[in-house]
Amino acid sequence: MGCGSWTRKSYVDYATVKGMSVSSKGEISGSYSNQEMFKARTLDPALDPKNAIRECCDTEEHPNTIPVILALDVTGSMGQAAVEVAKKLNVIMTNLYEKVSDVEFLIMGIGDMAYDEYPIQASQFESDIRIAEQLDKIYFEFGGGGNSFESYTVAWYFGSRHTKLDCLNRGKKGIIITMGDERLNPYIPKTGRYCTLSEVTGDGVQGDIETKDLYKEVSEKFNIYHLDVNHGRRWWNKDEIEKSFKEYLDDEHFRKVTIDSISDEIVDIVLNETESNTESPVVAPLSSEGITW
């Protein structure tokens, strides 16, 4: 995976086949509801995380891969934010590829491990039009529950335990960008209402996964960012949301955004990481037995 490169023409052709048009700015024209943009009504097999290892490998075509996990909150209140990401995907990728040729995106859908049937969806790492194809496969379960947070750290978990990154061999880390509108979960439950973490991932899990332990582990492979999306319909106090993330992320890594500014923030994060991550030493990551729960 990860061969080929993004082009505006390939995206315009892809959008045309879908019956959509692309504006002069490079984004999808018109207004779309979430269910018009994302038509999947269950988990697509291509995004099934069970026993999956997603690889971001250096090749002759892309010798200096930059792996980026873009994790979308697919619970009930975040639908329109994901629509805007989908509409502006071509703008994001075109702006990045003008400056960085080896970016590869893994698209994730993240839900609530305690209440949702499909709390983790994860594509392959890709660098061409397949990014758009896999984004379109995301299933919006519109779930979540009454536990005051969503399971943002399942993106950390999947990145830590279910990816293979060649960039680590070059002393560089990958990037995880989560986006959502609720507080950071203090743990990932071993067992939820509809599934267990073992059933979802295929991993042997002994107990709940504490965020503080998981952050330490995933930080050996990835730099972590969160986009806190203010869309006017949030249920939780913005200060409480910020406080929960600021236990781990500073102002650079926790960013307050609007729906309109999401795409610009994604581009800024990747470009800044590319510039600043050239000499960062990386400790060899823990094996899957490094921490057990």
> Is the pTM of the predicted complex or chain greater than 0.85?
yes
- Report the C-alpha gap between 194 and 189 in whole angstroms: 12
Q: What's the CATH code of the domain at 124?
A: 3.40.50.410
Residue 115 lies in a domain: yes
Give the per-residue pLDDT at 3: 81
Residue 19 lies in a domain: no
Residue 28 lies in a domain: no
Residue 83 lies in a domain: yes
Q: What is the CA radius of gyration of the chain?
A: 18
Residue 253 lies in a domain: yes
- In a structure prediction context, what are the per-residue pLDDT tens digits for the chain, which is 293 residues long? 668 899 999 999 999 999 999 999 999 999 998 889 999 999 999 999 999 999 999 999 999 999 999 999 888 777 778 888 899 999 999 999 888 989 999 999 999 999 999 999 999 999 999 999 999 999 988 777 667 788 999 999 999 999 999 999 999 999 999 999 889 999 999 999 999 999 999 999 999 999 999 999 999 999 999 999 987 665 567 889 999 999 999 999 999 998 889 999 999 999 999 987 544 444 434 444 444 44
Residue 25 lies in a domain: no
Give the per-residue pLDDT at 286: 44
Give the per-residue pLDDT at 235: 58
Tokens matching residue 194: 């509809």
**Nearest CA among 293, 165, 160, 184 for reference residue 241:** 184
Residue 289 lies in a domain: no
Residue 131 lies in a domain: yes
- Report the C-alpha gap between 154 and 272 in whole angstroms: 24
DSSP string, 174-225: EEEEEEESSEEPSEE-SB-SS-BHHHHH-----S-EEHHHHHHHHTTTEEEE
State which residues form the domain around 233.
42-276
**Nearest CA among 186, 208, 212, 183 for reference residue 197:** 208
Domain count, the chain: 1
